Each structure stands twice: as C-alpha cells, then as structure tokens.
Amino acid sequence: NEFNEEINDKNEVKSTKHTLLEIVFHFHISETRYIKTRRVGEGTFAVVYEALDTSTDPPTRVALKKIKMIKQEGNAPNGLDISAVRELKALRNLSAKGAHPNVAPLLDVWLPTSGLTSSSIGNLHFVLPFCDFDLEKVIKDTQIVFSPADIKSWMWMLLSGIEYCHERDILH
C-alpha cells in the first residue's frame, strides 16, 4: 500500500491510502458496481461475462473480461500474464486519445472485493461495451447471405479501426 497526501480546499493535509494496483493500473475497487448476468465465452487468458453496470440509471449492459491469474506451483495465484498487461496498456492508449467508432473502448478496469464468487474476487476485470452478437458466428452461419455491399462495408470498418490502431503504434 502507498499513502499519499492531499491538500483540501482549507489547505489541510489529508492522508489517503491507495493500493499499488490502483496507482499502476488506474482502476477502482468496488463491491457491487457490476453484476454478472451470464457467461459469454472463454479464451486462453480471460473469461468474458455479460454484466450490468449499476452506476447508471437504468443499469447498462457491459462485457466484463475477467483476466485469469497465472498459477504458480501449488495452484496459488501468482500474477497477471504479460499479455494482459500489454492489452490493458493498448486499450488505455486507444481509449485515452479519443473514441473511434470501429474500436471498442475500455470503459473501466474493475477489481471486485466481495459480492461475487470467490473465483472472481481479487481478479482484474476489463469493462468493455457489450455486443449483442458474435461476428464469427454470423459469418459462419451459411443461412445468412451477405451482399457485396455488406462485405465492402465490413472491410471498410475493419481497415478503418486497424488504421486507427496503427496510427497509435499498436499492431493488431
């Protein structure tokens, strides 16, 4: 833990306590801001959930990407995979310099302290906009026929988003 001194409007020095994770990753710790509603998918380094952000009225749907902790011998959590740290840095870089309509912004980084299953408490979660569909499933669905205009539009959006990333020195 690190202690900082803040000066209030009366020039009084007030000591505030921040964890190292809060300082390094600029995220907040809360108990119940996000409520998981269902599991959406899983990858090598994360599990994705649909959730509700209770800080808005009405609550908004978001995607929570729970970052898996690296396990050391004896199955005890050891830390974050370097890929997750790189992803967080890239998402912060892309979100900090203005939004792009074809790049999903990082809305928040959240560390739950209670109120969830024990496997979620203490794990870092990236908060992203929730998408109602999985593009890969749509593309693979042989019942859906795409026009050349649809494909051209998707390619323009994809290349526009990649250009935005490349302009910010992020390769995808």
Other beta carbons within 10 angstroms of residue 35's beta carbon come to: 14
Burial environment of residue 65 by CB neighbours within 10 A (0 to 12, 13 to 18, 19 or more): buried
The answer to whether the beta carbons of residues 70 and 81 sit under 8 Å apart is yes
Report pLDDT digits (tens) over 16-56.
444 445 545 555 566 678 889 999 989 888 899 999 999 88
Report pLDDT digits (tens) over 80-120.
778 888 888 888 888 876 778 899 899 888 877 655 454 55
* pTM of the predicted protein model: 0.73
- 152: tokens are 């051209």
Confidence check: pLDDT of 156 > 90: yes
Report pLDDT digits (tens) over 49-78.
999 999 889 999 999 999 887 766 655 556
Burial 93-131 (b: 16+ CB within 10 A, else e): ebbeeeebeebbebbbbbbbeeebeeebeebbbbbbebe
